[in-house]
Amino acid sequence: MKEKDHHGSTADAEEEEEEEEDEFECPGGKDELDEDAEPLCTVDTGGAPGSGAFGAPDFFSSAALSNIQQQSSWESESQERTFSWKDPSDPIVVNGDLMTTVQSCGDDELPDTFWLDMCSQIKEGNAKVVNLALNPERNTQYNGTHIWNAIYEENCINFDGDDSEMCFEERVLYRLLSGLHTSTTLSIAKKYYPPSKRKGRDTWEPNPQYFMEKFSGHPEYIRNLHFSYVVLLRALRRASPFLYDYPISSGNILDDEAASMLIKRLLDSHILQSCSSVFSAFDETLMFESATAETGYTLQENFKGVFHNVSSILDCVQCQQCKLHGKMTMLGYGAALKILLTPEELISTSLTRNEIVAFINTIAKMSESMKEVRELAHLYFLESEKFVSELPVPDPKEINTFYGDDPYRHVDRAVAAISELARTERISADRENELIALAFAKDPALLILAKHYYTDLSKFLEHSKNIAGLADVSDEEPDAIVVGSGLAGLAASLKILDRGGRVILIEKEHRVGGNSAKASSGINACCPNESKYDDSLESFKNDTVNSAGSSANLPLIETLVGRSAEAVGFLKERAGVDLSLLAQLGGHSHKRTHRPSNGMAGAEIIYAMQKAVKKFEKDGKIKIMVDTKATKLVQENGSVVGLEYTTEKADDSPESGVLRAPNVILATGGFAADRTDNSFLAKHRPELLSMAATAGDFSTGDGISMATELGAGTVDLEKVQIHPTGWVDPKDPTNPSKVLAAELMRGVGGILVNDSGQRFCNELGTRAYVADMMLKHNSIYAETGVWDKGSNVPTFSLILASSAAEDGKKHVDLYSHKGLLMKLEGIDALASWMNVDASTIQSTLIQYKNDDSNGIDKWGKTSYRGVPTENLNNETFYAGTVTPVLHYCMGGITIDTEGNVLDEKLNVIPGLHAAGEVTGGVHGDNRLGGNSLLECTVYGTLVGEKIPVRTRTKSSAVSAAKDSHTSKAAESSYLREISMEEVSTHNTPEDCWVAIHGEVYDLTLFAEEHPPGAESIYELAGKDGTEAFHAVHNKGLLDDFQEDKIGILKI
């Protein structure tokens, strides 16, 4: 493991400079094996006859390694536990005294250089530079039982509780390995629960209960951790003269000086000068003290051989992150032993730079682990005290009146009944929480039920269905109904909620986010924090007007641009979205597109916004109704006062109802996915019906339809944006739904090339310009300017050089993973992939490099990034096929600058508001890249700020039709039986069911949170994933997925 140095400097596995920072992940299922590992982690014997593992003599052949080599799965009971601890601890220190009388296995004298190869079996893998600050040790859910068993077996430790057969040297090695094991377990306990949108966790959170389960009965494990720390400190003190002036040279002078200063500060620390009593807990000079002639091999050789074999076992770890930390610690141990056992005059020449880095970081790791012991113990006792303190203390008079002589009898009975129902999975986790809360609140109905039915759980369950949760007891009307849960709807909702209002948010899909979650390029703004790129509001306005063309609506554009900085500030400060990077997209004259440093803009924004909104659910201030479609607006006396809806129940039976509120906000998006005969697309742009689209299939213009039925005006419905770059999936080239090739791909330096191998446009031009230049490759369009719906849409190559790919790494990695981008080494490979002559594409790229030198090309391009290197034969290219696609509807409902919906005579329709793609006029003829998320945020917050919020005197929940779709877990108190045939129909990333250990889980929302990535989850969609799950994880992991469990697999 590599982490930030305990004293502040960053250490890398091979070089301290951060040339390449790879974040290791632990893939799941069939993809879990290390790409560089041999099948089943077999051990290479080197082909030498009569040799055991790693070419060692047969005497040192590793039985543990042979076991790993021979087994393809681990079905023992121990595999059901994360770790299997072994007794005894075999302390070297007993009752505080050094065990100077322990038998040493002894040895003959060996050369002074004998210990110099202690670390020789710790392989460096692919030798990539790894920044430990990006790879903290944490819970990867990897089941390492077999690895730990192999490690302990390799050390020949006696597990029968008899200390007498273990010599001093064996105890030393055992305690070091136990210290490593302890430190690893502590790191898992400290970072046990990963960040989760579903669970509302922003960061990794600890599990004090897990810590206590592992260590409460085994204080010797903690002592072994302390022992390991002492060994490391003794080595540090012995190497101090050498390390004090060790030359650090990473290429960054400031970092080098800071690191040297910190090393000196560490070596000058009082602990190395004044803690002699601590250091005496171990004395390496007692090792190998007495001689024995029982074998022809020395004890030193045996000790070193075991250390080598234990080190090599780590190559069998299939979790890359686990392997990283294990190897780092063993390398640190090896360096420490080398320092302690090698003559002092050889220390300065015996340590490699990698060993020194690992040694310092291992000291930091053990130090941090000792601190974690205190922190986790403190958290455990805090939680225990909190549980006790939160138990309700009822009024004595009430107790005597209702409970008789035993005040807690019926509370206890209720909790016992609820617990048993939850344990047998007859109620959901959410329902369990509701009933427990009611029990502790002394709800009379629940306690009367417990009094009479606690012995009959079936009747208790049946009657408890008539008891509502604490948040379902009010009939108070909300201040607004928001239709659509994309960014516009979430922004409006959050503004109302922050002002003390109440909201019903309805969404016809099964999850929130809409098309906003797909946005990838970023959000425009000028000019938060006094931008250093010479941008200005006037420049931003001019770019937007230029893109909007003759249909530009200046008041709407000025509102959009003028509130852009405030909008980005709202997302960053209120929702906590990381928008720290700045990019320049096509059509922009300056860098002003803000995006996250890690992740896609839309996904990050939607995650943060929906999390902020959902925090109001527990107080009943918002009710989120998914699988619910608004069908008609309700109008009384000229004002909109609510809407009619239908909701799809779990059994596919529709349920209709009416919701009432003084304000309705439409945020339903566009209509680009509706290809029906009566669609807006068919009426206004029929020639585009056959063109692929990036919008979700839910984009059917519902809001526009409802509003126009009341007489709302519309504008620019014929203006449908054609985005120039949608990826053509080579595995499914005719699919009408395309993944967007983000504007950022061209912004970082991607170039567009036609099938003749020639560039044909300024890639940084507006979307309309680039799409037009692409479509002009069709002769009919070139002549008429109108697309012929009978023509095939042309395709093009989008090419990125290595520097451009590095600049857009997150996007490149994503698209490559999806199979949409190909990595090609050299100009010949690129030409072959494009099916053009190598000289043609080489000439194109050379001309592009010349244009960069001249500062302009024949299409007027003046900004160049990610230009290919001089040697095109050695350049690494990334290339994919793109095509123009339907992307955005500029037209929609007519609104004013406050988001009020206007009728056909431009009069305000009272009570009706709109924001986002459902509206028209904001973008004119063509939307500028990065302005969609901005429009949603600006107009969503504008509407949310102006909605009247009524004064309330009591805290209660919003009113709504009783709806079981507020959350998936509340759909039913029962888990129904689901056949494998039904599971197989839910086999897409948008609808991902997986059967595991006889139960069915909907992992659609979790997939993107899966630490190793969503793809390994998607591969199991619609299948029984038990085997793949069991290969990596323990069954206990499923306890954290109770809310995702939707049924029992029907046999």
Who has greater pLDDT, 360 or 433?
Answer: 360
> Mean pLDDT across the stretch 1006-1033?
74
Q: What is the pLDDT of residues 618-647, one digit of tens each?
A: 888 999 998 899 999 999 988 999 999 998
Tell me, yes or no, whether 382 lies in a domain.
no
Who has greater pLDDT, 1002 or 131?
Answer: 1002
CATH number at residue 1008: 3.10.120.10
Q: Find the range with the poorest average confidence among 29-33, 185-189, 270-274, 291-295.
A: 29-33
Who has greater pLDDT, 865 or 744?
Answer: 865
Check pLDDT > 70 for residue 890.
yes
Check pLDDT > 60 for residue 709.
yes
Per-residue pLDDT at 827: 96
Per-residue pLDDT at 142: 76
Per-residue pLDDT at 278: 57
Q: Find out whether 628 and 508 touch, Cβ atoms under 8 Å.
A: yes
In terms of domains, do 1001 and 913 share one? no
CA distance 310 to 305: 9
Strand 991-996 to 1023-1024 pairing: parallel
Q: Find the range with the poorest average confidence among 217-226, 388-397, 410-419, 766-775.
A: 388-397
Per-residue pLDDT at 163: 42
Structure tokens belonging to residue 685: 């742009």
CA distance 428 to 406: 30
Per-residue pLDDT at 128: 57
Tell me, yes or no, whether 968 lies in a domain.
no
Q: What is the pLDDT of residues 787-835, one digit of tens each?
A: 998 899 999 999 999 999 998 887 888 788 888 999 999 999 999 999 9
Q: Find the range with the poorest average confidence among 477-486, 804-813, 966-975.
A: 966-975
> Mean pLDDT across the stretch 1027-1041?
64
Q: Find out whether 401 and 219 touch, Cβ atoms under 8 Å.
A: no
Per-residue pLDDT at 70: 29
pLDDT confidence band for 909 (50 / 70 / 90): very high
| Residues known to be catalytic | 723, 746
Q: How many CA atoms lie within 13 A of 403 on its CB side?
A: 20
Residue with tokens 């273990």: 166
Check pLDDT > 50 for residue 485.
yes
Per-residue pLDDT at 114: 67
Check pLDDT > 50 for residue 17.
no
How many domains, the chain? Answer: 5
Per-residue pLDDT at 744: 83
In terms of domains, do 351 and 278 share one? yes
In terms of domains, do 746 and 652 share one? no
| Helix 299-313 with 63-70: angle, nearest 10 deg | 20
Domain of 115 in residue numbering reads as 79-377
Q: Tell me the average pLDDT of the chain.
A: 77
SS (HEC) of 464-514: HCCCCCCCCCCCECCCEEEECCCHHHHHHHHHHHHCCCCEEEECCCCCCCH
> Mean pLDDT across the stretch 690-707?
90
Check pLDDT > 60 for residue 728.
yes
Tell me, yes or no, whether 174 lies in a domain.
yes
Cα distances (Å, whole numbers) of residue 642 to 421, 573, 627, 704? 39, 32, 18, 16
Q: What is the pLDDT of residues 296-320, one digit of tens each?
A: 346 777 777 778 888 778 877 777 7
Q: What is the pLDDT of residues 924-950, one digit of tens each?
A: 988 888 999 999 999 999 999 999 887
Who has greater pLDDT, 267 or 784?
Answer: 784
* Top-confidence range, 399-408, 610-619, 947-956: 610-619
Tell me, yes or no, whether 469 lies in a domain.
no
Check pLDDT > 60 for residue 407.
no
CA distance 481 to 471: 18
Per-residue pLDDT at 920: 95
Q: Find out whether 848 and 867 touch, Cβ atoms under 8 Å.
A: yes
SS (HEC) of 147-161: HHHHHHHHCCCCCCC
Check pLDDT > 80 for residue 6.
no
Is residue 358 exposed (0-12), middle (13-18) or buried (19+ Cβ within 10 Å)? buried
In terms of domains, do 342 and 238 share one? yes
Cα distances (Å, whole numbers) of residue 786 to 456, 500, 687, 691, 761? 74, 51, 8, 13, 19
Q: What are the backbone dihedrals phi and psi of residue 371, each rounded to the nearest 5 degrees, phi first?
A: -70, -35
In terms of domains, do 865 and 985 share one? no
CATH number at residue 711: 3.50.50.60
In terms of domains, do 228 and 305 share one? yes
Who has greater pLDDT, 474 or 363?
Answer: 363
Per-residue pLDDT at 416: 82
Per-residue pLDDT at 391: 45
Per-residue pLDDT at 23: 31
Secondary element (H or E) of residue 566: helix 564-569
In terms of domains, do 730 and 686 share one? no
Per-residue pLDDT at 529: 64
Check pLDDT > 60 for residue 80.
no
pLDDT confidence band for 1010 (50 / 70 / 90): low
Tell me, yes or no, whether 96 lies in a domain.
yes
pLDDT confidence band for 113 (50 / 70 / 90): low
Per-residue pLDDT at 914: 97
Using DSSP, state whether 256 is helix, strand or coil.
helix
Check pLDDT > 90 for residue 84.
no
Tell me, yes or no, whether 579 lies in a domain.
yes
Per-residue pLDDT at 77: 38
Q: What are the backbone dihedrals phi and psi of residue 753, each rounded to the nearest 5 degrees, phi first?
A: -135, 135
Per-residue pLDDT at 500: 87
In terms of domains, do 904 and 880 share one? no
CA distance 363 to 581: 35
The DSSP-derived string for 640-683 is: EEEEEEEEE-TTS-EEEEEEE-S-EEE-----TT--STTSHHHH
Is residue 449 exposed (0-12), middle (13-18) or buried (19+ Cβ within 10 Å)? buried
Tell me, yes or no, whether 955 lies in a domain.
no
Nearest to 350 by CA among 602, 167, 120: 120
pLDDT confidence band for 129 (50 / 70 / 90): low
The DSSP-derived string for 173-204 is: HHHHHHHHHHHHHHHHHHT-BPPBTTTTBSS-
> Mean pLDDT across the stretch 728-747?
89
In terms of domains, do 288 and 333 share one? yes
In terms of domains, do 362 and 407 share one? no
In terms of domains, do 611 and 546 share one? yes
Select from 437, 464, 491 the last residue of a domain.
Answer: 464
Per-residue pLDDT at 166: 59
pLDDT confidence band for 1040 (50 / 70 / 90): low
Nearest to 909 by CA among 710, 685, 775: 710
CA distance 703 to 630: 8
Strand 664-666 to 908-914 pairing: parallel
pLDDT confidence band for 563 (50 / 70 / 90): very high
Per-residue pLDDT at 502: 93
Q: How many helices (H) and strands (E) does the chain have?
A: 35, 28
Check pLDDT > 80 for residue 199.
no
Per-residue pLDDT at 1: 34
Per-residue pLDDT at 580: 86
CA distance 399 to 447: 12
Q: What is the pLDDT of residues 28-46, one digit of tens each?
A: 333 333 333 333 332 233 3
Per-residue pLDDT at 461: 83
> Mean pLDDT across the stretch 596-603?
78
CATH number at residue 760: 3.90.700.10
Tell me, yes or no, whether 681 lies in a domain.
yes
In terms of domains, do 367 and 412 share one? no
Check pLDDT > 70 for residue 291.
no
* Top-confidence range, 125-129, 328-332, 889-893: 889-893
Please state whether the predicted TM-score (pTM) of the whole model is above 0.75: no
> Mean pLDDT across the stretch 883-907?
94
Who has greater pLDDT, 374 or 879?
Answer: 879
Per-residue pLDDT at 880: 97
Is residue 465 exposed (0-12), middle (13-18) or buried (19+ Cβ within 10 Å)? exposed
Q: Find the range with the poorest average confidence among 144-148, 281-285, 411-415.
A: 281-285
